[in-house]
Amino acid sequence: MAPTRILTRDEELGVISDDDDSPSGKRSKLDRFPLSRWELAVSLGVFLVFSSGLCCIYMTMPAAEFGKLKLPRSIADLRLLKDNLANYANEYPAQFVLGYCATYIFMQTFMIPGTIFMSLLAGALFGVFKGVVLVVFNATAGATSCFFLSKLIGRPLITWLWPDKLRFFQAEISKRRDKLLNYMLFLRITPTLPNLFINLASPIVDVPFHVFFLATLIGLIPAAYITVRAGLAIGDLKSVKDLYDFKTLSVLFLIGFISILPTILKRKKIVE
């Protein structure tokens, strides 16, 4: 009987080793589409369901100049959108909030760039308190949807796009199982890893959902506050890069350090 072969962690995750320089290895890593037909069908089905719901919401909203509505891609686009939506938001607040939330969650779920502009828009139209509540709620809901979508079909996509980053994330999660919430809070508060990657990779490396949810809900508050507050002075904002200067990043990393301080102190006690 042939001896049983033990799979490595990379093989369990489905990550293709960078040392595989064979033509077949390169083809499988670079050329082959990562999703099977079933996984692609599921992802398209979920996308169509979300899209249909979003269209229904917009179709039932009061009449407006829909030709002026578009997802902003620059600060100039955002200023124009804010001017076009200000009166509409005041006249139909419930319908506008529903449409705003649906759009934000849709973008967050399907990794569509531009949610930072939506956060700035919340500050410009709703003020700091309501804006932060809306942004944190939508970002958490969208991240949750992305988490479960990735849990369903994300493994081949993540291992295809970011094999090295996934290995690093897996190793860090494994070392911090006892204080995982603190580590996830640190990642959410600081720009150490992109939120998009965290949303997609967390179910792949077995981060429990309750830890993911709490870390997202709490950890996004500082960045949401900074972005929403900047939306109040959107006329003075020149670029998205102005949001995260050295001072802002220092504050975020300080808050992130405080979140992992219990882990550091516990390790120090164990060593002593």
* Burial classification of residue 218, based on how many CB atoms lie within 10 Å of its CB (0-12 exposed, 13-18 middle, 19 or more buried): middle
Q: What's the first-to-final CA gap in the chain, in angstroms?
A: 50
Model pLDDT, residue 272: 52
Task: Kindly state the percentage of the chain with pLDDT values over 90.
Answer: 35
Residues 6+ apart with CB under 8 A from 122: 100, 130, 131, 132, 134, 135, 228, 231
Is residue 37 pLDDT above 80, yes or no?
no
Per-residue model confidence as pLDDT tens digits over 128-175: 999 999 999 999 999 998 998 898 888 888 888 899 999 999 999 998
Which value, to the nearest 10 degrees, does the dihedral of the CA atoms of residues 176, 178, 183, 185 take?
A: 160
The tens digit of pLDDT for each residue in 114-125 reads 899 999 999 999
Rounded Cα distance, 74 and 101, in Å: 20
3-state secondary structure of 37: helix
Ranking 23-37, 40-54, 130-144 by mean pLDDT, the lowest is 23-37
What DSSP character marks residue 35?
Answer: S
CA–CA gap between residue 105 and residue 139 (Å, rounded) = 7
pLDDT score, position 207: 94
Helices (H), the chain: 9-13, 23-30, 37-59, 75-91, 93-109, 115-126, 128-153, 155-161, 163-175, 180-189, 195-201, 209-219, 221-231, 246-271
pLDDT at 39: 66
Rounded mean pLDDT of 83-108? 86
* Alpha carbon distance 191, 76 (integer Å): 25
Three-state DSSP state, 33: coil
Q: Are 61 and 101 in contact (CB under 8 A)?
A: no
pTM, entire model: 0.78
Residues constituting the chain? 272
Per-residue pLDDT at 27 exceeds 50: no
Confidence band of 4 (pLDDT split at 50, 70, 90): very low
Q: Which of 44-53, 70-79, 132-141 has the highest mean pLDDT?
A: 132-141
* pLDDT tens sequence across 225-246: 999 999 998 888 888 887 887 8
The reported pLDDT for the residue numbered 22 is 44
Residue 45 confidence (pLDDT) above 60: yes
Q: What is the pLDDT of residue 71?
A: 79
Single out the residue of 245, 233, 244 nearest to residue 78, CA to CA: 233
pLDDT computed for residue 26 by the predictor: 42
Q: Which long-range contacts (CB under 8 A, 24 or more apart) does 80-86 make?
A: 81/121, 82/121, 82/124, 82/125, 82/234, 85/121, 85/125, 86/125
- Does pLDDT of 177 surpass 80? yes
Looking at residue 33, what is its pLDDT?
58
- Residues 2-25 have a mean pLDDT of 45
